[in-house]
Amino acid sequence: MKIGTIEFGEYPLFLAPMEDVTDPAFRVLCKRFGADMMYTEFISADALIRNVASSEKKLDISESERPIAIQLYGRDPEPIAEAAKRAEEAKPDIIDLNFGCPVKKVAGKGGGAGLLKDVPKMLEIIKAVVNAVKTPVTVKTRLGWDENSKIITTLAEQIQDCGAQALTIHGRTRAQMYTGEADWTLIGEVKNNPRIKIPIIGNGDVTTPERAKECFEKYGVDAVMIGRGSIGRPWIFEEIRHFINTGELLPQKDFSWYLNILKEQAENNIEMLGEQRGIVHTRRHIATSTLFKGIDNFKQTKIAMLKASTKDELFNIMDTIEKNFDVSRETK
C-alpha cells in the first residue's frame, strides 16, 4: 500500500487519532510495538489559525514517529486550508481531515461528522486543502449521519475525486456515536468498488489479533486502524502483527512487564507535561487498560489509582497491586 510517496508493508496497522489519547508519550509506545502509521490528536483549524498555544503544541512531532499525520477539523474551507498550511510547516508526512468526530461540541457545530449533513461543503474543504498544500491529504469519516443516510459508498468516490490520497472509514454512523457494533460490510463495499483507486483504511471495534486478521482477509482493506482497542494497551500492535505473521497468539508476558509499560507512559507524560498534568493525561489509559480487568475486589484500589496525584503515590499503588492481588490470569 502507498500513500503519496510513503510505502507500507503488508497488513499495515495504524494508530487512530484520539483526543486526549494520542499524545507524544503514547505514540512513542505504539510505534515501539509496531504501529505503522501515527496520528496526532485532532486539532481545531480555527484554534490553530488564532495561535492558541494548546493547539500549536499538538503540532510537535518527532522524527522517530514517522510516518505521522497531523489531523485537522473545522467547518469552513478557508480556515481549514489556512490551518493546513500552518500544519505543513511542522513537516508531517500526511495531513488528515476529520469528518468523523461524533461529539456534540464538534459535530453539533458543523465540524467533524457534522459535515456528513453537508456533503458539498465537505468536498469544498477537501479541495481547498488539497490545493493549499503539497503534503498528501487524507480523510477520515463515518458511514453516514444515521441509519437512514449511510452514504459512504457514494461519498468515497466523491472524496477520491476531490484529490484525497486515502480514506479511513469508521464503521458506524454519527448517530451511533461509539455504541453498537461497527459495520464493516459497507467498508468492504467501498474497498471492492472498481472505481476506488485510493487506499481504504478500516476502523472500528478491532480489539483482538483475530479480528484484525479477519478484517484484512474478509473485507480486503489496505490497512486497519486501531482506536479504543489500543488505549491502555499499546502492545496490541505487536500482538496483532505476531498473529498475522504466525497464525498464533503472542505468548503472555509477566504482569509486571505490562505494568512497567504503563509506568513508562506515566513517566514520559510527567517529563513532557509536569507531574500533575502528566498523571492526569495517563489516567484514561489506566482506567481503560485490560491489564486490570478480572482482578477480584479491585474497585477501591482502582479508584485510589485514578485519584493519585503524584508519581510516587501512583507507582506505590501499582506496586501494591502486583504484590497483593491475584494477577495470574490473561492480561491482554
Q: Is the pLDDT of residue 330 over 80?
A: no
Contact status, residue 317 vs residue 283, Cβ threshold 8 Å: no
Q: Is the pLDDT of residue 251 over 60?
A: yes
Comparing CA positions, the residue from 66, 128, 118 lying closest to residue 97 is: 128
What pLDDT is attached to residue 325? Answer: 73
Q: What is the average pLDDT across 208-225?
A: 98
Q: Is the pLDDT of residue 65 over 90?
A: yes
What pLDDT is attached to residue 323? Answer: 87
Report the C-alpha gap between 17 and 14 in whole angstroms.
Answer: 9
Give residue-wise pLDDT tens across range 6-37. Answer: 999 999 999 999 998 999 999 999 999 999 99
- The total number of structural domains in the chain stands at 2
Q: What is the average pLDDT across 36-47?
A: 96
pLDDT band, very low/low/confident/very high, at 297 (cuts 50, 70, 90): confident
Q: Are residues 277 and 152 in the same domain?
A: no
The reply to whether 162 belongs to the active site is no
User: What radius of gyration, in Å, describes the C-alpha atoms of the chain?
Assistant: 20
Q: Are residues 292 and 160 in the same domain?
A: no
- Out of 30, 101, 162, 215, the active site residue is 101
Report the C-alpha gap between 301 and 321 in whole angstroms.
Answer: 8
Q: Which of 223, 246, 269 is the last residue of a domain?
A: 246
Q: Are residues 237 and 263 in the same domain?
A: no
Domain annotation covers residue 58: yes
Comparing CA positions, the residue from 268, 289, 224 lying closest to residue 64 is: 268
Q: Are residues 133 and 167 in the same domain?
A: yes
SS3 68: strand
Q: Are residues 25 and 49 in the same domain?
A: yes
Q: Is the pLDDT of residue 332 over 90?
A: no
Q: Is 125 exposed, middle or buried (0-12, 13-18, 19+ CB in 10 A)?
A: buried
What pLDDT is attached to residue 324? Answer: 79
Q: What is the average pLDDT across 114-139?
A: 98
Q: Are residues 314 and 175 in the same domain?
A: no
Report the C-alpha gap between 103 and 85 in whole angstroms.
Answer: 26
Q: Could you list the residue range(s) of the whole structural domain that residue 281 is in?
A: 255-324
pLDDT band, very low/low/confident/very high, at 225 (cuts 50, 70, 90): very high
Whole-prediction pTM: 0.94
Q: Is the pLDDT of residue 322 over 70?
A: yes
What is the CATH number for 44?
A: 3.20.20.70
Pairing of strands 2-3, 223-226: unpaired
Q: Are residues 280 and 220 in the same domain?
A: no
> How is residue 258 written as a grid cell?
505490562
Report the C-alpha gap between 143 and 173 in whole angstroms.
Answer: 5
Contact status, residue 229 vs residue 236, Cβ threshold 8 Å: yes
Report the C-alpha gap between 217 and 243 in whole angstroms.
Answer: 13
Domain annotation covers residue 331: no
Domain annotation covers residue 124: yes
Domain annotation covers residue 227: yes
Report the C-alpha gap between 324 and 297 in whole angstroms.
Answer: 11
Domain annotation covers residue 135: yes
What pLDDT is attached to residue 331? Answer: 46
In the predicted model, what is the mean pLDDT of the chain? 95
Q: Which of 220, 246, 272 is the last residue of a domain?
A: 246
Give residue-wise pLDDT tens across range 253-290. Answer: 999 999 999 999 999 999 999 999 999 989 999 999 98
Q: Which of 202, 225, 246 is the last residue of a domain?
A: 246
What pLDDT is attached to residue 294? Answer: 83
Q: Are residues 24 and 61 in the same domain?
A: yes
> In this structure, which amino acid lies at residue 273?
L
What pLDDT is attached to residue 115? Answer: 97
> How is residue 59 written as a grid cell?
503540532
SS3 144: strand
